[in-house]
Amino acid sequence: MKVLLSIKPEFVKEIVLGKKKFEYRKSIFKRDDISSIVVYATKPYGKVVGEFEIENILIDKPENIWKKTKDYSGITKSYFNDYFQGRPTGFAIQIKEFKEYDIPLDLFEFDNTLKAAPQSFCYTSGGF
C-alpha cells in the first residue's frame, strides 16, 4: 500500500535535489503495510511528481529528531521549530531514494478515486 503526501513545491524541489532526505509530520499513518510514499506537490504546481521508498520513520521529541536529521532537513531550524510548536512528539520519514516521474500527473490521472489533494496524506492504490 502507498500513501500520497501533500508537500509544498519548495520542499519537493529540495527532495529532488537530494538536500532533503526527511519529510516531517505531526502525525503518521496508522497502517503498518506502507512501503512507499507518492509525492503530490501542492498548489500552485498541483501535480503528482514522483515517489520514494521509506527507509525508516523516526518517532521522538522534536528536538531529538532535529539533532538526528538537521543535516538533511531541507528546512531551517526556525521553520522546524514553528512546525512542531507545542508538540511532544514528531515524525520524520526518511527518504530512501526519490524517483521523479518523467511526466508529472494530475491527481485524477494518478488515482481516479481522488477528488482533491489530501490536507496531509491519504492511502492510495494508484500509480505505477
Task: Read off the CATH number of the domain in which 114 is found.
Answer: 2.30.130.30
Predicted confidence band of residue 40 (pLDDT cuts 50, 70, 90): very high
* pTM assigned to the model: 0.94
Predicted confidence band at 102 (pLDDT cuts at 50, 70, 90)?
very high
Averaged pLDDT of the chain? 95
**Neighbour-count burial of 17, counting CB atoms closer than 10 A to its CB (0-12 exposed, 13-18 middle, 19+ buried):** exposed
The domain of 89 spans 2-124
Residue 16 is which amino acid? V
Q: What is the pLDDT of residue 126?
A: 77
Per-residue confidence band for 104, with pLDDT thresholds at 50, 70 and 90: very high
Domain count, the chain: 1
> Is residue 41 very low, low, confident or very high in pLDDT (cuts 50, 70, 90)?
very high
CA–CA distance, 60 with 81 (Å, rounded to integer) = 14
β-bridge partners, 106 = none
